Structure 1
Amino acid sequence: MELDSILLNRKEKKLLKKIIFLSNRADHGLASTDLIKQQSEYDKYYFSQLRDFGLIGTHHLPEPNEKTHWRPENGTYVTDKGRHYKDWHWEHLRIFIYKSVMTPIVITLLTNLVLYLLEKHLK
């Protein structure tokens, strides 16, 4: 799913922020899913929504293949889309404001200028 079609509500944003925080503190970028479930921001529905949007992912290994590449079982990681969602959101908001606010203001100013010049020229 593309970022253009993803709009998170307040609770999903808080949960994503918490998962990013926990995954940054964890080894290998994998936060324990059990630890995430203990957080006050956790809600099964919002967790599933973030996973369905592709902002987070889960990693399950029944047993480690090699001791040197061991990762915690039942871990949650943040994808690149999840890490950069906030940047994308602010850029999208800036474009929206430009289109919705600045464009009508500029058009109004230009229209008034043209009308003023026409009125002045016709006198």
Structure 2
Amino acid sequence: DASDAEAICEAVTRPTMRFVPTKSEEQQSVLMLHRVRELLIRQRTMLVNALRGHLAELGIITRQGATGLSMLVALVEDEGHDLIPPLARSALFLLVQQLREVHEKVGELDRQIHIWHRSH
């Protein structure tokens, strides 16, 4: 509208006004890779926390970090014990599958980002 046009004219005529250059499609694409990666990492963290929390409700607690997580995943996948009820195991197994998928996608994005940075 008219007030927007007036504000634009005012901004353009000011000598101290700084402008931000537009990003190229390639720059926007790389930023998108980073943003999607960050989203997937947040989702992965949520899945890990959910898995730990649900197993803690059953009295199963391990140490933090990748080693503790791999122990929990192995426990969910091992049907040779009765620490986890079958119905709970089926729900937790879905979390484990989703966790693996997200982990693979993060790895693929890491590879794409690495390839882009090596070529620039």
For the criterion TM > 0.5, the same-fold answer is no
Higher helix residue share = 2
Q: What is the TM-score normalised by the length of structure 1? A: 0.30
Hey, which of these two has a bigger chunk of strand by percent?
Answer: 1
TM-score w.r.t. the length of structure 2 is 0.30
Instruction: Say which structure, 1 or 2, has more relative contact order (CA 8 Å, 6+ apart).
Output: 2
